[in-house]
Amino acid sequence: MTPLLLARIRYRTETGATAVEYALMASLIAVAIVVSVGLFGGSVLGLFQNASVKI
């Protein structure tokens, strides 16, 4: 096999994997957002309620 043919085969196999990797990154970012909202949502709500009482 020539190096050019090997490069073409490698490029074809890596393009499909990058879509999967992007999907995994997007799902991990979504999970991180959900977890952070779950953890800090109550404290932020309390902060705004405290501010509205003072007004």
Q: Which pLDDT score, from 0 to 100, does residue 36 have?
A: 92
Q: For 38, how many CA atoms within 13 A lie in the half-sphere containing its CB?
A: 6
More confident: 45 or 2: 45
Residue-wise pLDDT for 3-54, tens only, equals 777 777 666 655 566 778 889 999 999 999 999 999 888 888 888 888 888 8
Q: Which pLDDT score, from 0 to 100, does residue 43 have?
A: 84
Residue with tokens 């705004």: 48
Q: Which pLDDT score, from 0 to 100, does residue 2 have?
A: 75
Q: What global pTM score does this model have?
A: 0.56
Helix boundaries (H) for 1-55 = 3-54
